[in-house]
A and B are shown apart, each in its own frame.
Chain A
Amino acid sequence: MNIHTGLYDPSFEHDACGVGFIANVNGEKTHSIIENSISALINLEHRGAVGGDMKTGDGAGILLQIPDEFFRATVDFTLPTAGTYGAGMFFLPPEKKLLKKSISLVEEATSEEGGIFLGWRDVPINTEALGETALQSLPTIKQAFFSFEGAQGEILERRLYILRKTMEARAENAGLDINSFYIPSLSARTIVYKGMFVSTQFTDFYPDVTDHRFKSAIALVHQRYSTNTFPSWPLSQPFRYIAHNGEINTLRRNMNNMRARESSISSPYFGEEIHKITPIVNPDASDSAIFDSVYELLVQGGRDLSHSMMMMVPEAFGSRYHISEDKRAFYEYEAAIMEPWDGPAAIVFTDGTRIGATLDRNGLRPGRYVITKSGQVVLASEVGVIDIPPEDVIEKGRLAPGRMFVVDTEKQRVIKDNALKASVSRGKPYRHWLEKNRIELKGLFGLPSPAHLDKETLSTRQRAFGYSIEDMVDIITPMALKGQEPIGSMGNDAALAVLSDRPQLLYDYFKQMFAQVTNPPIDAYRESLVMSLMSFVGRERNLLEETPEHCRQLKLAHPILTNDDLNHVRNTYIPNFKVKTVSILFPRSEEEKGDLQNALERVCSEVEAGIDEGCELLILSDRNITADQIPIPALLAMGAVQQHLVACGKRHLSGIIIETGEAREVHHFATLVGYGASGINPYLVFESLVDLKQRGYIPEDITIEEATENYINAVKKGLLKVMSKMGISTLRSYRGSQMYEALGLNSEFMSSYFPSTASRIEGIGIDTIEKETIERHTSGFRFDEKRLDHLDSGGIYRYRKNTTKHRFTPLAIIKLQEAVRTGSYSAFKEYSAEINDIEHNLCSLRGLFTFKDADPVPLEEVEPEEEIVKRFASAAMSFGSLSEEAHTTIAIAMNRLGAMSNSGEGGEDNQRYEALESGDTAVSKVKQIASGRFGVTGEYLVHAEELQIKMAQGAKPGEGGQLPGYKVNDIIARVRHSTPGVMLISPPPHHDIYSIEDLAQLIYDLKHANPKARVSVKLVSEVGVGTIAAGVAKGKADMVLISSGEGGTGASPLSSLRHAGSYWELGLSETQQTLVNNNLRGNIKVQVDGQLRTGRDLVIAALLGAEEFGFGTVTLVSIGCVLMRQCHLNSCPVGVATQDPELRKRFKGTPEHLMNFMLYLAREVREIMASLGFRKFDEMVGRVDMLNMNKAINHYKAKGLDFSKLLYQRDRQESVPIRCIEQIKPDFSTTLDSRFIKEARSAIENHKPVHLKAEVRNYNRTIGAMLSSEVSRRYGEAGLPEDCIKVDMKGSAGQSFGAFLAHGITFTLEGEANDYFGKGLSGGKLIVYPPAESKFLAHKNIITGNVNLFGATGGEAFINGTAGERFAVRNSGAVAVVEGVGDHGCEYMTGGAVIVLGQTGINFAAGMSGGVAFVLDENQLFDTRCNLEMVDVEQITEEKDEEFLKKYINRHIEYTGSRHARHLMEMWEEIVPLFVKVMPLDYRIALMKAEGEAKQVQGVNNG
């Protein structure tokens, strides 16, 4: 099966998982370790997933020490003494011939490498345990044993390493890929058992591990959840050294760098044999496998286990972290050697004697550990995976962001972060080396002096680089004024670059990718301390060595260089640091074409020559363009140089800086850096700023210096935004990571200049790019015909006739409104004809499709319009962005049609749950659950027919947003559970979704919170979205929505609007193909949205695989929107997107208008269906064979496009459905909640209090949500009287304990809880304390996991212990008492109160705009850990604050029996002064204002 055909590509696969280890600290080998580790694995099963056959797991495995006793007993040959032989696990091909070949390959390689082949052992397996798909790809599993004369310890490990690499190389030469010949492990210390099954099948499949002679002191386990199920035995985990729960976002960059570095690695450990271990990485492997290979190299190359991990996954060390200078220096030094492997990660690692774990800098994966008296350490993604008697526990902890810990079975010690890192960072004089060698230019990044303005030629040059008025006025000017990127609204419907008639910049063909689901985007503003733009530029040296010269590189604080900076770098004499400039201009010749390609070759060879001459820095420059000297597109020059240098292994020897007049908007800089630039000097922007200043666009109070700085700041912020949306924290790893998708560039071009970037529909090549470049240049210098000394209008952000084409033309808007207002279908046809007019207005890919000829059927036989509209949904637009009038008009219209309307992310006024007098209802059937969780209460959830998890939105995928305070009026504040006038922030990630298994958890939560609703997940199209959709399907969502990156009505930075995300034609097609290929399509529906306009659009989408359709822009146009694209300014002149009471009066839309539109659209769909011979809509879904590409289009760029991947269809197997035929109904009858509901019936129905008891385990997840749904369905927000339902529980509770708990329900938990404790708490009460038998100090130990009380809207929580990261994130109403919290506590909080009776982590109160926190600050360091951007830290002075504290601490004592709290109360007078109050600035003002108003009202009443 060639799975690579079509749009699916295995490199898009993601996985995430449960990981963990168990170790005997004293090194004693026992069988119970293995038994325990397997039960841990089984208890993590819900973190894994099964595929379409419902049996094939995504993979599970264990890494153990070599069981010498067991092997000795089971092999039929004699083994040398333990430690002097290596054992290997082999996955070999099942076919006899290939197997034979592989066996002899192994044996031959051994003798050639001077080893002794000891023998084979067939590993007993039980295939009954496997699912069908896993069985199909089952390898022959064997073990083999080797020794090397006299070798043991590290020497033997190294010999085995070389041996394995040699075998791999031979296998590859013999045509055996990783799926045919794979060595899971080959070591004298460790052995790996793994495969494609779920954990429960483990012991069945490998009976070996049940043998009591099989013993180990350590066990490392892994349970995989992959986004899809093309079974790959080798890619299940653990690998040889690590198991990884996470995602390496910057893999491309890391791999390229490794490839380049291979040419310069050397080590005394390997000597001449170094060539045998290259290539280090196999590009076909997964990110985790590649990480493992590099980690292995570092360790084998002589670096310590923790040292190597610190290099690859460094913690954040910016100046806002209080860490030792030596450690900071160490990280900085290592930064010059290797870039971070960036992305969310919990990594467990071992070399067989030591075993440890670390977390990425953001702490985006959970890791909880327990240390016992009996000498065991258990670490896992969740607590409670194995039974440990409470009295045996010494310590319960969690891995904090960037922290590491190691169990050393040799030294018989647990070594914590500080001890580990101190020994590494002081192992060599790194600080000294750095101070002496690092190049820091004095005056670099100083205040810029004004650029020289050559007004005479300015517009000529601007035009030659494609500048438009929009670039000047709408992009550069706002950046220079405000220091940030400009905002726009209403999506992007301009023609794709490849369909545009006007010369496009190369950047426009590249779309930014973004994190969704499998790894979270980062909040670059509120969590800026983990972000870094710092980088080193210069020559990288031997990776396996550490010398002072390694850090002889130029340190750049950020990559944007002013003209002064560049001159400085160019002209300052720095010893041992040579700089050379290479021109990227090319002369115009008489030749028709080929000039550009020749010029690129010249540039590449000049750059290489420069490196050979010893230049550490090369500047690619397009300064001094003339009428005859044309600039190479800077991105193309960068791509060519990058590709050339990687290929010749010299990329790491020099930094590349680009001096270009072309770059001006954030996307330009982001792509240049993304393809390898270390620095960029946008000289023409700086010059343009001077011009703008002279013309008065930059007002008098902003000097040109300030404007320049503002502009640079805006670019820096933009770069951070782009990186963070991809989930990347540091520029060092972002640079060269190529996180883009190309659209409209052909594969010949891509493979030459951007080889690892996906480009799936072909398109133009170098010749057309040359043509566009010359055309653009000519338009700059063409004075001789018309007078052209002005800039073009642009017409991208605002419609301009005769410039950029847009799908929504003025005429289309007019005709549409005429149609719906006058009820004229013929006007509608004029509208749709205008939109579909590809002759004049070819803007989108769907314009290029044609329908195949078919036998038509009579129109009367086709499903009626009224049925078809039921598949329609209005897009998610929040009440807050839309006026109340517009929002309810849409809801009423959609409800009347039996179609769906969407609440958007701002909650919903509960008054809308009542029917209107007219008999209409304005309730939104679809309720959105977005990252901000505004107004997501239990009541909100039960009033939905569909719950939609918004992972991304088309306008700005991967980004958060904010509702400025002035838009938060009384009603919006009420609905969102916040305070009027206080800004509301939507974080970029859902803080309960850092990975695919987290999403599955949220789906699970929502299905409990409203068992009657279906759950959908909204994704935005990008390359790889299909695999994510597969993951969503496996997470048991009922529907997946593929949104187009072009769509989106929301406000968004302009560069995101245009450049982030791909188009639905691609995303939908990829989703359909992947779901069908994995046999998952039958269980999940697919919806599509994004600039859908006409019946033709819909039918194309249906044929590509969609069964439901969403409409945003066109919905608004139907009710009066005229595409002002200024929704973010609150100035909508037709009252659609505004909260201004005056403007709202101008709203003239009616439900009938929208109904007319929807019905006309359905009518048109029907007509097309008849012509295509479809009677039922369902027959049409997925019938891609009915589509063709229109070859007749004679567009000079479009003619290179090729849709064959889009139209690809695997041979139809009738048994494999291509549309949803049966949704899986979850069975919750055995859950605790089902029991509670039964037992609490009298309370639920008659308010008669009940008191229940239960034992819980970590697999009991989402306790309380379904019970609460019964309550909120009946009683709404008010719930039941306090403590009406009391449940006492014991044990380790699973994730989402007490989710959406309704008022009147009280949960008491004796034990501990995992992540998402109290998610969405809606009035209930949660109490947790350690078991009575436990001996540790409760307040020093961790008791609840990460992200407690996320999005809570009310209720109380009392936590007798420490909680993890992001405590009470986005809390808007709950009151909590806790005895310590991790990093980012109270992040984005908007209401409620939090009392912390102990330590907090860093970045407390980031983005906190409301509510209040009280923190016991015993060592008076709190202000160093608090993010003071939005809050004040003050003493407790007011009596009411003290009363509040006392009241809640006393309750805390009453409920949890906290000894710590009791102690505090005993010495209250001494303690009070140590408390600080954290008060958001805006919140205080809003409260004072409200109070003032209240007093005024009172005054009036009294007067």
Chain B
Amino acid sequence: MGELRGFLKYNKKVSGYREVKERLKDYREVIKRLPQEELTQQAARCMDCGTPFCHSFGCPLANLIPEWNDAVYRGLWDEAYDRLELTSNFPEITGRICPAPCESACTLSINDAPVSIKEIEIAIIETAFSKGWVVPQAPRRESGKKVAVVGSGPAGLAAAQQLRRMGHQVTVYEKDNAPGGILRYGIPEFKLEKTIIDRRLEIYRQEGIEFEMNVVVGEDISARYLRRKHDAVVLALGCRVPRPIPVPGSESEGVYFALDYLSGATKNLYGELSDREMVTAKDKTVLVLGGGDTGADCVGTANRQGAKKVYQFEILPKPTEWDKSWNPEWPYYPKIYRTASSHYEGCERRWQIKTKKLYGRGVSIEKGIFCEINWSKDSAGRWQQQEIPDSEFTLDIDMVLVAAGFVQVEPSKLLKDFNLQLNERGTINIDEHFHTSAEGVFAAGDAVSGASLVVKAMNQGRSLADNVNEYLW
């Protein structure tokens, strides 16, 4: 275990962000790192619990957090990496973007500040990269079986690597220019630099995973052909259909879905999209609808593009403000008011705001009418909203970004060709072995469970791989 009573001796430390002024000028990562000595101390705060909630309840991947904490405390970075690598296919990514339910569930979160698990995680994997420990692990034996993985988001990538390491020949099909899915195109550069993904993909390639880019399965190649060419097909399509907002005028020019906006920004950064094709917030008054993480990403991106002013409205009430280090809802991820790095960069946030109407004249949106609402429960216990009288207000805006979540898997020819059953939520139905209704076709990730955390998708990808492997043997 870490140091006995280390949690009483050392305080939690976090690295924090680069200066706002400085970071707004570029798209580089906003987060800083703690030096290694500090991390040893932070790891010493781990109590190596008899029942580690971080590992067993918080982390969907069941990362062996106490084990790598202990190794870091002992200075055994290589062993820490070994333990980390066991459950995670790309910790350098989760270490950057995961909301860290592990820390919310950390036993210390009951009445103290949790162990800085995320900081330690990223330090382990970055150390491993810098020391050259992250090497391809090609399988020791080829099974001779072929697997197609459709989609290269977290679930697809995790499944692909697991399956490859089990000895199968894996081809990943991706409709975009480069693999990564939501990781690449959904998460802004300042939170996850794409070179991080590329570094990992290089390992994948060296392990022998094939990537077929710009292929829309079902159109460029037929589903039947794909199935015939492979012993198993894995669908990791994501859950890309955004939730529309029921607001008159929302179809106007200048109203964009967040993901389209964000991926455009990234594509532009990497030369996949010209400046002209890209939607930019430069010199615009931007309204982000939706108070979640994606909304925050839009705020950060808009500010970097040079927006004049950014608003972020959320229809739900403002979560409880909480300035204590401990988690009032331990071990759950608490519903508390959070401030993302992007919010510090300039943004007006409001809650309980309903968008009543958006007005566009000619090509672009010009203003919106809003009001304040109250939430209360009706007799059946359902939440109901009531407009607050006389709260209506109008705002001049040039651009609206809708970040209201996602509802379902994109309908496609692929789904139709495999004749896949979808459920009422619009995601793919699978059995307990991740098997879809089509023989030899498996699915995992957001396509199955709806939009959720990267770690959850990864975990599904890994579990799917075990099942596919069993299927193939």
Chain A residues in the interface with B (C-beta under 8 A):
469, 473, 489-490, 695-697, 783-787, 790, 793, 797-802, 808-811, 813-814, 1122-1126, 1129, 1131, 1133-1134, 1142-1143, 1146, 1148
Contacts and interface: CB of A to CB of B under 8 A. Distances in A.
B177 interface: no
Nearest to B61: A801
A1134 B111 contact: yes
Nearest to A474: B1
A811 B7 CA distance: 24
19 contacts: A784-B141, A784-B167, A787-B165, A798-B49, A799-B56, A813-B51, A814-B53, A1122-B51, A1124-B51, A1125-B51, A1126-B49, A1129-B5, A1131-B47, A1133-B110, A1133-B112, A1134-B110, A1134-B111, A1142-B8, A1146-B111
B55 to A, nearest CB: 7
Closest 6 pairs between A and B when the two form their complex, measured CB to CB? A1125-B50, A784-B141, A801-B62, A1123-B51, A810-B57, A810-B56
Contacts of B331: 810, 814
B453 to A, nearest CB: 17
Interface string B61-102: 010101100100011100100110010000000000000000
A798 B70 CA distance: 14
A1126 B110 contact: no
B107 interface: yes
Contacts of B70: 473
Interface in B20-75: 47-53, 55-57, 62, 64, 66-67, 70, 74-75
Given A696-B75, A1131-B5, A811 B110 contact: no
Given A813-B51, A1133-B107, A695 B79 contact: yes
Task: Tell me whether chain A's interface is mostly helix, strand or loop, or mixed.
Answer: loop
Contact of A808 (B51, B76, B82): B51
B79 A801 contact: no
A890 to B, nearest CB: 20
A464 B55 CA distance: 26
A784 B107 contact: no
Contacts of B64: 793, 800
A801 B4 CA distance: 24
Contacts of B137: 787
Interface in B132-162: 137, 139-141, 162
Given A784-B139, A1133-B111, A1133-B112, A797 B7 contact: no
Interface in B256-290: none
A1118 to B, nearest CB: 15
B414 interface: no
Contact of A696 (B8, B50, B52, B76): B76
A799 B51 contact: yes
B432 to A, nearest CB: 12
Interface residues of B, number: 41
Contacts of A695: 76, 79
A469 B67 contact: yes
A104 to B, nearest CB: 70
A1122 B86 contact: no
A925 B415 CA distance: 69
B167 A785 contact: yes
B310 interface: no
Given A784-B167, A790-B86, A1134-B111, A798 B66 contact: yes
A305 B469 CA distance: 74
B50 A1131 contact: no
Contacts of B167: 784-785
B55 A786 contact: no
A808 B56 CA distance: 12
A811 B47 CA distance: 19
A695 B51 CA distance: 26
Nearest to B59: A801
Nearest to A489: B50
B104 to A, nearest CB: 12
A797 B51 CA distance: 9
B107 A799 contact: no
B166 interface: yes
A809 B7 CA distance: 24
Given A784-B167, A1123-B49, A1142-B8, 4 more contacts: A801-B55, A810-B56, A814-B57, A1122-B49
B56 A800 contact: yes
A12 B192 CA distance: 69
Given A793-B67, A1122-B49, A1124-B49, A786 B62 contact: no
Contacts of A1124: 47, 49-51, 107
Contacts of A808: 51
B108 interface: yes
A237 to B, nearest CB: 50
A1133 B50 contact: no
Given A793-B64, A1129-B4, A1122 B111 contact: no
Contact of A801 (B47, B56, B166): B56
A490 B331 CA distance: 21
Nearest to B70: A473
Contacts of A810: 51, 53, 56-57, 331
Contacts of B76: 695-696
B48 A784 contact: no
A492 to B, nearest CB: 11
A1056 B16 CA distance: 47
Contacts of A801: 55-56, 62
A1302 to B, nearest CB: 44
A468 to B, nearest CB: 11
A797 B50 contact: yes
A40 B289 CA distance: 99
Nearest to A469: B67
A897 to B, nearest CB: 26
B147 to A, nearest CB: 14
B77 to A, nearest CB: 11
A800 B49 contact: no
A1148 B111 contact: yes
A1143 B75 CA distance: 28
A790 B47 contact: no
A1274 to B, nearest CB: 45
Contact of A1126 (B50, B67, B162, B166): B50
B108 A786 contact: no
B62 A802 contact: yes
Nearest to A1123: B51
A798 B51 contact: yes
Contacts of B162: 786
B59 to A, nearest CB: 9
B53 A1122 contact: yes
B52 A799 contact: yes
B114 to A, nearest CB: 11
A1131 B4 contact: yes
Contacts of A784: 139-141, 167
Interface in B113-147: 137, 139-141
A473 B50 CA distance: 14
B460 to A, nearest CB: 15
Of residues A811, A1133, A1143, which shows the largest number of chain B Cβ atoms within 10 Å of its Cβ?
A1133
A790 B75 CA distance: 18
Contacts of A793: 64, 67
B180 to A, nearest CB: 24
Given A798-B66, A814-B331, A783 B140 contact: yes
Nearest to B78: A695
A841 to B, nearest CB: 13
Contact of B74 (A697, A802, A811, A1134): A697
Contacts of B53: 810, 814, 1122
Contacts of A1146: 110-112
B47 A1126 contact: yes
A993 B354 CA distance: 79
A1142 B110 CA distance: 15
Contacts of A783: 140
Contacts of B57: 810-811, 814
B110 A798 contact: no
A1271 B338 CA distance: 66
